[in-house]
Chains A and B, each alone.
Chain A
Amino acid sequence: MDFSMAPGTFLFEAWQARASLLQGLGVTMLSSALSIVIATVCGLAMGVALAYGWWWLRLVARLYVDLMRGIPLLVLILFTYYGLALFGINVPAFWAGVIALGAFATAHVAENFRGAVQSVPAGQMEAAKAIGLTFGKRLSYVILPQAVRRMLPPWVNTALEIVKGTTLLSIIGVVELLLSAQQAMARNYMIIDFYLLTTALYVAINFTLAQLGASLERRFSYLRY
């Protein structure tokens, strides 16, 4: 690889494409962040439903989780974008992608959360009941603080999967990092160089996320049993 800045070199071409690449990177990070937030909030709610809901609520949540785990993410994204349009619901490609990713990851977060909550010994819930805490307080002061450390590692995994999953949004025309790189390649044919660049950027994002997760885990390491 020639690292000089002369025309026709990788650095030159990358510099030429910097605006669209940066924008693509921004779209990747924004869609990831939004999907992670949606998946976390909805996943926690659905996890509570799975663990403690009335039987019909558990059934609905269970059906949703199994459905989402069975559908390929790409199919879900295509369905959200084109399928909803058939019903007259026009969702912009970016939002269709975020909704699909969020809905997909919600199922994973919900299942992880249910597992984490149910791994807290039954006696903890009983002790919390015995001092008279209501359901919401039992959850927030006793169960969640103990479940959070157990659900953190799978939650980080889900977040990494979401970041990687945003590449699929290029199929429905969202110019995220991958598509913006491919657009640059279409001009300069430096395919290996630009794929290496995008690879490095994805790894950098996910490495940062994983480090963040690890530091959170250390923060909760006071939980011992």
Chain B
Amino acid sequence: MTEPALLQARDVRKSFGQVEVLKGIDLTVSQGQVVSLIGASGSGKTTFLRCINLLEEHDGGEILLDGDPVGYIMAGERRKRLSETRISAQRARLGMVFQQFNLFPHLTAAANVMLGLTKVQGKSDAEAREIAQHWLGRVGLADRSGHYPYQLSGGQQQRVAIARAVAMQPRLLLFDEVTSALDPELVAEVLSVMQGLAESGMTMLLVSHEMMFVRDVSHHVVFLDQGKVAQAGPPGEIFGNPGNDRLKSFLGRFHGLFGRG
């Protein structure tokens, strides 16, 4: 690998009580790459994603963002948890889009996008409004900036959520099954926005069940099984030549998509 790794995860472990959900995950994302995590429910994809921006704290291994460990600093041999302010600053370098959109219901579409720009990045209202307008335009919602979330369809809400994340100019955008809560006919509009972002060179790490999309947009695909990386490689290899048995059976469930034609 020639470019420096933007995100590097080494042997990341995480347990919820007695249940070990992540059993040592290694993963690297380079600048401009689109990396996808696939796998069955409970394989740890979402937990891993949430560890990256500290919605969960990993208990073992390390996650480095631009070389800095997320969530702690090393004080000699010991880990020292970062202060709330430093953690928030790390999170501000990452964008995240959720399955359930999680738009702020008391704010308009534009105000949802502006909140981080003004309150985290300290931009003026006018500047933030301009940026919000730009990104709402990019996701095809220029005429919806004054609408509240309840006035928007699921697909529109998710596109506002993408605008909210990307307007902060994050180093890396995390997508957590962002189309899973959408009606089937609304999935395409969200995927096409994501495709546009990928083509513009945005570094993205996504968890998705949209296998066609994953195959088309990713540079690198990681198949997680029971908290471990079972197979990883370029999409052609993962989808064209799945060596791992569990990957084969996992992809078999999407056979309708890949088998025909």
Q: Which residues of A contact B (CB under 8 A)?
A: 121, 123-124, 126-135, 137, 141-142, 145-146, 222-225
Q: Is the CB of B150 within 8 A of A224?
A: yes
In the complex, 12 of the A-B residue pairs with CB atoms within 8 angstroms, ordered by the A residue number, are A127-B104, A129-B54, A130-B94, A131-B168, A132-B89, A132-B116, A132-B120, A133-B115, A134-B85, A141-B115, A142-B104, A225-B150
Total number of residue pairs linking A and B with CB closer than 8 Å: 75
Of residues 85 to 106 in B, which have CB atoms within 8 Å of A's CB atoms?
85, 88-89, 91-96, 98, 100, 102-106
Residues of B with C-beta under 8 A to A129: 53-55, 88, 91
- What's the Cα separation between A131 and B53 when bound, in Å? 10
Does A141 contact B55, Cβ atoms closer than 8 Å?
A: no
Pairwise interchain contact B120-A126, C-beta atoms closer than 8 A: no
**Which residues of the partner chain B approach A130 to less than 8 Å between Cβ atoms?**
53, 55, 91, 94-96, 98, 165
Residues of B within 8 A of A132 (CB): 88-89, 91-93, 116, 120, 168
Across the interface, name the chain B residue whose C-beta is closest to A223.
B106
B interface residues with partner A (beta carbon < 8 Å):
53-55, 84-85, 88-89, 91-96, 98, 100, 102-106, 115-116, 119-120, 148, 150, 161, 164-165, 168
CA distance A133 to B84 in the complex (A): 10
A137-B119 in contact (CB<8A): yes
Taking a contact as CB atoms closer than 8 A, the residue among B94, B119, B148 that contacts A224 in the complex is B148
Task: Give bound CA distance, A21 to B105, whole Å.
Answer: 48
Look across to chain B and name the residue whose beta carbon is closest to the beta carbon of A138: B88
Interface centre among B89, B95, B100, B116 (most CB of A within 10 A): B116
